[in-house]
């Protein structure tokens, strides 16, 4: 470390003091940044080993779909590899406009606006909408992008207990500062896999004069009669003011969007800094997302198969005695306890050829660390059986479930 002028603390000192990750590496229980050498399919190659992938958000199994690949190639041939500029200036192509038109129709809104990432979508939308006297009311389990959007805004964030409608009403009853209010919630909570109580949220929003924003990153493509997410699932498209979506889950790509009224989208075009000051989503990405939307709209059997896979996986794990929380979606949390238990469980599953995602503090409360499974429509029954068997063996060895030995 370079020695600095005497009397001034070194801003890099925190980097030297951060040793937790290296300690986990040395212990062989570091679960992050493992290199995948193949596509995000139900089986992947990881550092020379074939593994079952249950740690990907590729819910509909579209990452390797020929139609998405063909669309990306065609768009690249026509428009090149990138826009080298923001949407605000030179980065709006015909493919962006067409995708926004399709997304607005899909979400049953007047307009839509495409961002370069899902994270940037919440950052830009929330920070642009919430002014100095405004209040953003958030669920304590909301995604980090919602929380960071609140932090970047000039508004005041107030939080309510997870999916607790009595606590939400308590927060909404608190004295106002002369500004507006918006309730910002996940549609499907990304750690626990449960669904927000949208009907009750909508009723409370009406009662207290608040707007409703739903970040439906994990619901769009998965839930609803049309696959349009949580608002579609509850038949409340007209009651939700803003729908936030991402392309990095069911759409199998990267990017995000806002669907709302024409007035709101027009405002965000001119005030959402994360869109104005970011390079535009490349044409290949836009075209592949449009192709994915075609499949979501025209192949409902993928959602049915996904539901079937998730239910088989959930029943199998619950039958072993595992706590899978309140999940009713393809996200299945296997709650194991403290962070060390989660790391150890992850390592045993990894060694058994199962690629999972351990979730630890601060992403979840203390002593509620979990192994998160994400199911795909393209998982086979054999994949499900092998995953459950691996959880049985690991759980018995660690004393989390049943006796020790596995016949």
Note whether 337 and 345 are within 8 A (CB).
no
d(CA 342, CA 369): 6
Helix 381-398 and helix 301-319, axial crossing angle in degrees, nearest 10: 20
| Catalytic member of 190, 250, 278, 288 | 190
| Catalytic member of 96, 109, 143, 249 | 249
- Distances in Å between the Cα of 237 and the Cα atoms of 118, 226, 246, 291, 367 are 20, 12, 17, 23, 37
d(CA 40, CA 177): 48
| Catalytic member of 218, 233, 312, 383 | 218
Task: Dig out the tokens for 380 from the structure.
Answer: 């086979």
d(CA 153, CA 213): 15
d(CA 166, CA 337): 28
Q: How many residues does the chain have?
A: 407
d(CA 165, CA 202): 11
Q: Percent helix, strand and coil across the chain, each rounded to 5?
A: 40, 15, 40
Note whether 347 and 272 are within 8 A (CB).
no
User: Hey, is 169 helix, strand or coil?
Assistant: helix
The verdict on whether 288 is a catalytic residue reads: no
Look-up of token digits 């309510």: 160
Q: How far is CA 153 from the centre of its chain?
A: 21
The verdict on whether 218 is a catalytic residue reads: yes
The verdict on whether 17 is a catalytic residue reads: no
Q: Which residues does the annotation mark as catalytic?
A: 190, 218, 249
């Amino acid at each position: 470390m370079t020695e600095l002028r005497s009397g001034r603390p070194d801003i890099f000192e925190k980097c030297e003091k951060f040793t937790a990750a290296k300690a986990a590496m040395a212990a062989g229980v570091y679960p992050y940044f493992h290199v995948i050498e193949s596509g995000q399919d139900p089986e992947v190659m990881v550092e020379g080993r074939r593994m079952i992938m249950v740690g990907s958000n590729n819910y509909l199994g579209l990452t390797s779909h020929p139609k998405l690949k063909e669309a990306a190639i065609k768009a690249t041939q026509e428009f090149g590899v990138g826009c080298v500029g923001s949407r605000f200036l030179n980065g709006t192509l015909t493919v962006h406009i067409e995708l926004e038109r399709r997304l607005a129709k899909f979400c049953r809104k007047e307009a839509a606006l495409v961002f370069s990432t899902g994270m940037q979508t919440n950052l830009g939308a929330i920070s642009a909408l919430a002014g100095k006297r405004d209040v953003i009311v958030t669920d304590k389990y909301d995604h980090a992008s919602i929380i960071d959007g609140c932090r970047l805004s000039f508004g005041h964030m107030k939080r309510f207990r997870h999916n607790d409608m009595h606590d939400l009403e308590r927060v909404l009853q608190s004295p106002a500062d002369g500004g507006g209010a918006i309730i910002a919630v996940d549609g499907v909570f990304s750690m626990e896999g449960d669904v927000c109580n949208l009907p009750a949220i909508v009723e409370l929003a009406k009662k207290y004069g608040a707007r409703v924003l739903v970040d439906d990153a994990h619901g769009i493509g998965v839930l609803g009669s049309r696959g349009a997410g949580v608002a579609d699932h509850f038949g409340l498209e007209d009651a939700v003011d803003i729908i936030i979506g991402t392309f990095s889950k069911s759409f199998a790509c990267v990017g995000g969007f806002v669907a709302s009224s024409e007035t709101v989208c027009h405002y965000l075009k001119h005030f959402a800094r994360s869109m104005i000051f970011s390079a535009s989503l490349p044409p290949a990405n836009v075209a592949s997302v449009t192709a994915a939307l075609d499949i979501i709209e025209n192949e409902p059997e993928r959602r049915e198969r996904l539901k079937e896979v998730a239910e088989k996986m959930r029943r199998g794990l619950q039958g072993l005695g595992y706590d899978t929380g309140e999940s009713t979606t393809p996200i299945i949390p296997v709650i194991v306890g403290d962070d060390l238990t989660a790391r150890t469980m992850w390592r045993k599953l990894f060694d058994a050829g199962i690629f999972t995602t351990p979730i630890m503090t601060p992403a979840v409360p203390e002593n509620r660390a979990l192994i998160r499974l994400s199911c795909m429509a393209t998982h086979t029954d054999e994949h499900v059986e092998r995953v459950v068997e691996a959880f049985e063996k690991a759980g018995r060895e660690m004393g989390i479930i049943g006796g020790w030995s596995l016949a």
